[in-house]
């Protein structure tokens, strides 16, 4: 081989592809063309249709929320309990964090009771991460120190 394999997406807003490994993150629904090239040997492409998620599941830990303890909620949008499609090579698993799949997820906390007259963000700090080993987004929430 003369060069390094390369994959490119025609629309990163729909499908963001790591050019070296081919690992990809779906950012939106739509149609995209994925180009694959081995320089000097092969050039090809394939049209890919990215469908919107039809199911979202959130799995929370069974333990109650405690002051100073992190609460984790796992999010998945696929039937099999993982957001990964197919098997990832170790190089693809290592490339996924650079694609930052967690940036496609947002978290908005609120209290359901009308009695509480302050925002949930005053009590809870949240951040989202993605665990490529299990293929799930993690919503992490820490209770902030409060004094009344």
pLDDT digits (tens, 9 = 90+) for 100-119: 888 877 777 777 887 888 88
Do residues 128 and 108 lie in contact, with contact meaning Cβ atoms separated by under 8 Å? no
Do residues 103 and 97 lie in contact, with contact meaning Cβ atoms separated by under 8 Å? no
User: Span 39-46, mean pLDDT?
Assistant: 87
Do residues 6 and 37 lie in contact, with contact meaning Cβ atoms separated by under 8 Å? yes
pLDDT band of residue 31 (cuts 50, 70, 90) is very high
Phi first, then psi: what are they for 147, rounded to 5°?
-130, 135
Q: Which residues pair with 129 in a beta bridge?
A: 138
pTM of the predicted protein model: 0.66
What span, in angstroms and rounded, lies between the C-alpha atoms of 84 and 77?
10
Characterize the bridge pairing of strands 30-38 and 42-50. antiparallel
The domain segmentation of the chain, as residue ranges, is: 1-52, 53-148
């Amino acid at each position: 081989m003369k060069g390094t394999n390369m994959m490119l997406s025609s629309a990163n807003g729909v499908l963001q592809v790591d050019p070296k490994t081919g690992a990809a993150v779906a950012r939106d629904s739509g149609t995209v063309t994925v180009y694959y090239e081995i320089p000097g040997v092969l050039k090809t492409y394939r049209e890919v249709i990215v469908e919107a998620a039809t199911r979202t599941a959130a799995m929370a830990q069974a333990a109650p929320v405690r002051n100073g303890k992190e609460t984790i909620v796992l999010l998945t949008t696929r039937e099999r309990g993982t957001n990964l499609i197919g098997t990832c090579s170790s190089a693809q698993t290592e490339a996924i964090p650079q694609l930052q799949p967690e940036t496609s997820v947002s978290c908005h906390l609120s209290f359901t009771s009308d009695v509480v007259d302050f925002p949930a963000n005053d009590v809870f700090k949240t951040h989202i991460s993605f665990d490529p080993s299990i293929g799930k987004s993690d919503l992490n929430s820490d209770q902030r120190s409060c004094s009344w």
